[in-house]
Amino acid sequence: MILINLDYCRNSNEIYKRTILEVLEQDDDFLLIDLMEGSKLWPLDDLDFDKSKIFYTVMRAGAAFDKNFTLLSSDSNIKSRISAWKNQIDFDSPNIDVLNFPLPVLVNAYLHDVDIPLVPKHVLNCMDDLNEMEKTKNFIQLTSSPIDFRILSLDRYWKHEFFEYSYVPWFHWEHDAPEVLHNHTIKDWDKRIENGFNYKKDFRFLNEIYDKLIEEFDVGTEELMEYEGKLFNKTIFNHFYPVQAFPVCCDIILESYVATPGPTFMTEKTWKPIVYKRPFLLLGVPEINQTLKDLNFELYDEIFDYSFDNEPDDLKRLHMFWEQIDRYINLDPKIFNDKLKVLDEKLEHNRKTYCEWHESNLNLTNETRDILCQGSIMDNMEYYFEIEEHTFVDIKKYCGIFLS
């Protein structure tokens, strides 16, 4: 079987275009890997979202050959999205099977004797202890990439006494061009600013929790930036909470994609509160919360009404999401924290479910794990290479636990 890395193709457009027909002529089946952004499926998705049209281009070329294709994607809605995509393309699609692996962007959780990066047990215990701090605020929104629905949420709540937030766009913006705002979802979003939040100026940095407790834990490649003479490491924020999060009752999670249609792509923003047993309210594409439920996670419906999750209109879904925050934001944080204690068993269940995903890795080979977790084999490869049949069997068997 031949593996084709679609993420590599997006970053090396001209290389793959010159040789894709030669690759597809080979006497083999093909595994297409598309893990780092959920899925991008022009013409189902608009051209702003999928500028490269990689999947469309490869499949159009593949339509001339009698080949079998398997698409491995981190989009948990990939099955229905491929079906909708087939109804919009202008050629007869080749045979495409789909697999889902929702964990390429993850927070590593404690396991028992599995040789993959881990958060040590003592770190989890310490984070649990920090979560028991007295609560002084009700919600926290941790914002890095400056997307319109995140900016509007900051504008709505940034002045509230029981709201905590960060706003660190420098990780995603060029230092000399902070006026650029990408990933527009909501039409005329900038005209909806009501409470004076200035996305070009109102940066807010929180404090890293990176001391002797975790200094020996390898969190991966540093992603450093300097602001006003101080270095910040985004990799630390990806794996841990800032100091200011622990006196806060509940996390507001605004995922990478909200626009309809779009991939159900869950990043460390979603997995982090699950690993660290923190209540959270999640906004993404329609039915992203239902997807978590389908993956055997418990929703916090004793506290929140998730009817917003089914709303197809993006702006209306955002307003319905805000209504759930509005229900509690004015409460005394101690009272809200007491209300959230009803979720203790669900918080424990969700952490356990996440950890069991890792424990069910079915003795995967290093090659299989490297492919799924975007390790060195994917970083160092050309855009395609051959894999052993047993590697594909392992991938298919493991991903079978995620895709219904």
Which of 13-22, 330-339, 353-362 has maximum average pLDDT? 330-339
pLDDT at 378: 67
Q: Are 298 and 349 in contact (CB under 8 A)?
A: yes
Sign of the C-alpha dihedral computed for residues 172, 178, 182 and 186 taken in this order = positive
Burial class (CB in 10 A: 0-12, 13-18, 19+), 53: middle
What is this structure's pTM? Answer: 0.91
* pLDDT score, position 18: 86
- Give the amino acid at 371: I
The answer on pLDDT for 183 being more than 60 is no
Residue with tokens 């204690």: 341
Query: Residues 68-94: pLDDT tens digits?
Result: 999 999 999 999 999 999 999 999 999
**Whole-number Å distance between alpha carbons of 290 and 277:** 19
Going by C-beta distance under 8 Å and a sequence separation of 6 or more, which residues neighbour residue 86?
93, 96
SS3 404: coil
Lowest mean pLDDT among 62-66, 161-165, 215-219: 215-219
Mean per-residue pLDDT over the chain, rounded: 87
Q: Which two tokens stand for residue 300?
A: 């916090």
- Give me the sign of the Cα torsion angle 226, 228, 230, 232: negative
Q: What is the structure's pLDDT at 263?
A: 94
Q: Is residue 349 predicted with pLDDT exceeding 90? A: yes
What pLDDT is recorded for position 184?
A: 67
Residue position matching structure tokens 């630390």: 236
The strand pairing partners of 9, in sequence order, are none
**Which two structure tokens, joined as six digits, stand for 133?**
């701090």
What's the whole-number mean pLDDT along residues 27-56?
92
Question: Residue range 191-209: average pLDDT?
Answer: 89
Q: What is the largest CA-CA distance in the chain?
A: 66
Provide the residue type at 185 as one letter.
T
Helix (H, G, I), strand (E, B) or coil at 232: strand
Instruction: Examine the pLDDT at 118 and tell me if it is beyond 60.
Output: no
Q: Which of 18-27, 71-80, 117-126, 192-201 has the lowest mean pLDDT?
A: 117-126
Is the pLDDT reported for residue 109 higher than 90?
no
φ and ψ of 387, to 5 deg? -125, 155
Q: Is the pLDDT of residue 155 over 60?
A: yes
114 vs 279: which has the higher pLDDT: 279
Can you tell me whether residue 97 is helix, strand or coil?
Answer: strand
